[in-house]
Amino acid sequence: MKLKLVINGSESPEDYKLLKSTISTVAALRKTAVLRFSSERLVVVSTPNSSTSNSSILHGDNGQLWCTIPRDVFAAYEVVSARDLNTIAMECSCDALQNIFKKYDRSINQGNDSNLTIKLQSMPEWNVSVTSNADGKAPLKVNPVCALGVTFEEAINTNSDANAVARMGGPAHGNTTKVISHSFKVPTKLLFRAQDAKIQEPMINYTQLMMYRLPTPQGEWGAGFQSFIRRIERYSNVHNIKLSGMKFWQLQDSRASDHELKIIVDELDWSLEICWNGPLDAMIQPQAENEVAVAPDESRADRDGGNVEVDVEASRDQSLFIEESESLDTENTAATEQMHNAHSGAASMQADSRSKHEVVIRSRDWKVCSKLYEAFEEVVLAISHDESCVFHCTLPRGSVEDEDGERPREHGQVIYYMARVKRV
């Protein structure tokens, strides 16, 4: 097993920013995160109890954050492992990593241009006590602890009297540059293949999905949308919020778009509606129209029993990204039909539910979204009616030219999956 990454913050600041903001977002969520290195990319995952989590099902308790960092973000990327795709998975403390990045940041800002090197180092001395504690009973259960060795160099000018040199007019021959070598070891817990396999990207139910391409954060409407997202934050004692996307079938002259996005709070003695009036780019699923025709009766109990599990089961071996939705939807027709039927009651209900997508999420999760929104360029909000909500941020990274011609580089992306807290 071998792992060596090099990144240079001063040569490719955009790439470095992606890595840094990924780590800081993850650190804001939970203490630890799973880093999964494969030959193509680094995936950083924050899930509830990373190492013990046993499924990719979105539970009611917490959101999951999945961040993709393509290999070409790094100046050098070398991952060798015995597993498929050279996968190495580990769990480590985000705070420690974040602190190192902060130190490196400072050094970069002072004009240094050194590389940041990340290596996996085995730490036999750290594992001694662990294995002896296990009593030889189940040594396999104990995850080996390694270190992510992070190093960078910082050159500092030790000339004590710069003025004196300047006065003498000569070249700064008196300047002595000294190099400080920073070296950190972040303890990480290597995950076994089985543990790694359990960490799967959550599934989204595509039957009642509404996706909005949100205004570009840096664009004309970015500041406005940012304040729309944050408006709710001043209400100190709000725990749950309802996101509501509505489609108007009759376009009225007065509104800018035929879609409406609202943040709704409905408490016992007060209610709140924050409505976005700016442009909203809805991405409608074309095949949703056709599916409505099929509506055999199904027992409601079936749905309540475990619709989410069924859905996950159907495509357990795949990691879903939102872009791939269309192709996957056709594969999942069996599952989706079932799902859809459960939703459909009277015909009027159906029309209503198709034009309205609502989900109740935690306001804490929404706050994470507001932070993410600031840091990325393309953001998509997906609302799966009464089930989950996905905040998908992408950072396009230009394109590369190779023998096949020009093609875009793989995007950096962060996807935040939030399960509903309760029914709408």
Partner 1 sequence: MLDQTTLFSASTVHLEHITTALSCLTPFGIKDDVLIIIDKDGLSFARQNNKVISIQLYLSAELFISYNYNPPNNDPDAHHKVCVKIHHILDSISVASRDKDDVVECTLSYNGEGSPFVLIFEDSVITEKVEYSTYLVKEWDSVGLELQPDAITLECIMRGDVLYNALQDMKEIGCKECYLYAIAKTGGKNTFALVSRGQLGLSKILLPSEKSILKKLEIFDPVSFEKTFDLPVIGVFDFTSFDKIRSSARIASKVLLRKDVHGLMNVNILSQTDDLILGEVKRSRTAPKVGTMPLSRDYPGIVIDVAILEKARLDEADVSEMRLLMESSEQIPRPIYDPTGVPAKSFEGNGAATPERDNCLLFGVRNMSADITDTAAGEYVPATNDIPLFF
CB of 182 to partner 1, least distance (A): 36
CB atoms within 10 A of CB 151: 17
Sequence-ordered strand ranges (E) for 174-239: 177-190, 209-213
| Closer residue to partner 1 in complex, CB, 171/270 | 270
Burial of 187 (0-12, 13-18, 19+ CB in 10 A): middle
Site size for partner 1 (CB under 8 A): 22
CB of 421 to partner 1, least distance (A): 21
Residue 231 interacts with partner 1 (CB under 8 A): yes or no: yes
Token reading at 59: 């539970």
Burial of 293 (0-12, 13-18, 19+ CB in 10 A): exposed
CB of 62 to partner 1, least distance (A): 26
CB 76 within 8 A of CB 4: yes
CB of 257 to partner 1, least distance (A): 12
Burial of 93 (0-12, 13-18, 19+ CB in 10 A): middle
Q: Which of residues 244-283 bind partner 1 (CB under 8 A)?
A: 269-278
Burial of 347 (0-12, 13-18, 19+ CB in 10 A): exposed
**HEC per residue, 15-68:** HHHHHHHHHHHHHHHCCEEEEEECCCEEEEEECCCCCCCCCCCCCCCCCEEEEE
CB 191 within 8 A of CB 91: yes
Q: Which of residues 300-319 bind partner 1 (CB under 8 A)?
A: none
| Closer residue to partner 1 in complex, CB, 269/402 | 269
| Closer residue to partner 1 in complex, CB, 253/406 | 253
Distance of CA 185 to the CA centre of its chain: 25
d(CA 417, CA 325): 15
Residue type at 118? Answer: I
| Closer residue to partner 1 in complex, CB, 276/391 | 276
Residue 366 interacts with partner 1 (CB under 8 A): yes or no: no
| Closer residue to partner 1 in complex, CB, 152/228 | 228
Helix (H) or strand (E) holding 262: strand 259-266
d(CA 26, CA 93): 10
Token reading at 188: 């990480």
CB of 396 to partner 1, least distance (A): 25
Q: Which stretch binds partner 1 (CB under 8 A): 24-32, 67-75, 80-88, 233-241?
A: 233-241
| Closer residue to partner 1 in complex, CB, 275/284 | 275
CB of 367 to partner 1, least distance (A): 15
| Closer residue to partner 1 in complex, CB, 237/290 | 237
Q: Which of residues 191-230 bind partner 1 (CB under 8 A)?
A: 221, 223-228
| Closer residue to partner 1 in complex, CB, 147/264 | 264
CB of 237 to partner 1, least distance (A): 8
| Closer residue to partner 1 in complex, CB, 272/310 | 272
CB of 246 to partner 1, least distance (A): 14
Q: Which stretch binds partner 1 (CB under 8 A): 231-239, 314-322, 333-341, 399-407?
A: 231-239
CB of 377 to partner 1, least distance (A): 19
d(CA 341, CA 350): 10
Residue 144 interacts with partner 1 (CB under 8 A): yes or no: no
- Residue numbers of the site for partner 1 (CB under 8 A)? 221, 223-228, 231, 234-237, 269-278
